[in-house]
Amino acid sequence: MIKRFFHNLNSLRVAYILISGQATVLYGAATFSEDVDLWVEPKSDNWNKFLKVLKNMNAKVYKLTLPVSMELIKKGHGYHFQIPSKDEKSGFWFLDVMGLVPRVGSFKNCLKNVNNKKTDWGKLPVIGIRDLVELKKTRRLEDYPVISNLVRIEYENLYCLKKIKNNDWKWILKNSFNIEDILYYLNSHNTAKTVSANISRKCLPFCLKAVANPKKFEEYMRKASNEIALEIERLRQLDRKYWNSVINELKSLNQDNQLLPSGNKVPCSVTD
């Protein structure tokens, strides 16, 4: 049924990007994700085509779903649906959809960076790995090992192609949260050491000192690890701040009984 769903999206030329959990699985940075997450371009005609696909799939509204309006879509609210696996008696799979996602810029710009990957569900537009890293800088602690995995995969791809440039090293060293990986990059590549000296990231000077001074390795490792932990907490706070207004509006609409009832059919069209 998921394959049919994506086939229908592509047939109607819905503009979408696969993001979040399933994207990390396809890149090999995670092993499992329960839901399918999509970024659907926030245009009314595009969402109308998307809703038509959902209707044809007998999708139902899932919990905490707002009215499907362009105003709310463009504010970054999430929409949650359940779609029958084969028929409703066989269970459902879950679909989370957004028209605006945090930290990665516009849909149009991110579309330039997608990787069209062959999957069991067909050929799908998957969010670019660097955009995915930004998207995964959430309040969830478990996302940071996944980010480091994505960075390592990007490094390995570039290394195999012998295409690691200074800007690539800057991105790699700024975005890995795995201290062992950072030390490996610095130990293995002189260019990485040179570039790291010009990056304002508090953990990097301690990592460089750990590489240069084996006698104080553990001391500098502890200091670098502490800085990484503080950096992660700052990013988590920024993510909380981003979602505050969205969550408050959701709570307000819920109190006013304006959310779509769970189990209802999907609306036929988006409102302006």
Domain end (from 115, 135, 155): 135
Is pLDDT above 80 for 268? yes
Q: Is residue 248 part of a domain?
A: no
Q: Is residue 98 part of a domain?
A: yes
Q: What is the DSSP letter of 215?
A: G
Domain end (from 76, 111, 135): 135
- Name the β-bridge partners of 39: 17, 98
Bigger pLDDT: 268 vs 128: 128
| CA trace torsion 18, 175, 187, 164 (10° rounding) | 60
Spatial separation of the C-alpha atoms in residues 19 and 122, rounded to whole Å? 16
Domain residue limits at 172: 143-242
Q: Is residue 82 part of a domain?
A: yes
How many structural domains is the chain composed of?
Answer: 2
Mean pLDDT of 23-37: 91
Q: Is residue 250 part of a domain?
A: no
Bigger pLDDT: 251 vs 88: 251
For residues 39 and 109, membership in a common domain is answered with yes
Q: How confident is the model at residue 88 (pLDDT cuts 50, 70, 90)?
A: low
For residues 93 and 211, membership in a common domain is answered with no
pLDDT in tens, 168-227: 999 999 999 999 999 999 999 999 999 999 999 999 999 999 999 999 999 999 999 999
For residues 148 and 211, membership in a common domain is answered with yes
For residues 79 and 124, membership in a common domain is answered with yes
For residues 147 and 116, membership in a common domain is answered with no
Q: How confident is the model at residue 89 (pLDDT cuts 50, 70, 90)?
A: low
For residues 18 and 87, membership in a common domain is answered with yes
For residues 43 and 75, membership in a common domain is answered with yes
Q: How confident is the model at residue 163 (pLDDT cuts 50, 70, 90)?
A: confident
pLDDT in tens, 103-159: 999 999 999 999 999 999 999 999 999 999 999 999 999 999 999 999 999 999 999
Is residue 22 within 8 Å of residue 40, measured between CB atoms? no
Distances (CA, A) of 53 to 22, 62, 129, 152: 20, 16, 27, 36
Mean pLDDT of 64-80: 95
Q: What confidence score (pLDDT) does residue 92 get?
A: 87
Is residue 171 within 8 Å of residue 163, measured between CB atoms? no
- Name the β-bridge partners of 248: none
pLDDT in tens, 52-69: 999 999 999 999 999 999
Q: How confident is the model at residue 30 (pLDDT cuts 50, 70, 90)?
A: confident
For residues 124 and 185, membership in a common domain is answered with no
Q: Which pTM value belongs to this model? A: 0.94
For residues 14 and 129, membership in a common domain is answered with yes
For residues 152 and 197, membership in a common domain is answered with yes
Identify the three-state secondary structure at position 90: helix
Q: Is residue 257 part of a domain?
A: no
Q: Is residue 268 part of a domain?
A: no
Q: What is the DSSP letter of 119?
A: E
Domain end (from 80, 103, 135): 135
Is pLDDT above 60 for 29? yes
The mean predicted confidence, pLDDT, of the chain is 95
For residues 48 and 69, membership in a common domain is answered with yes
For residues 158 and 98, membership in a common domain is answered with no
Q: What confidence score (pLDDT) does residue 90 get?
A: 64
**Which residue, chain included where needed, has tokens 């260019």?**
191
Range list of β-strands (E), the chain:
16-19, 36-40, 60-61, 78-84, 92-98, 115-119, 122-126
Q: What confidence score (pLDDT) does residue 87 get?
A: 58
Question: The domain spanning residue 93 has which CATH number?
Answer: 3.30.460.40
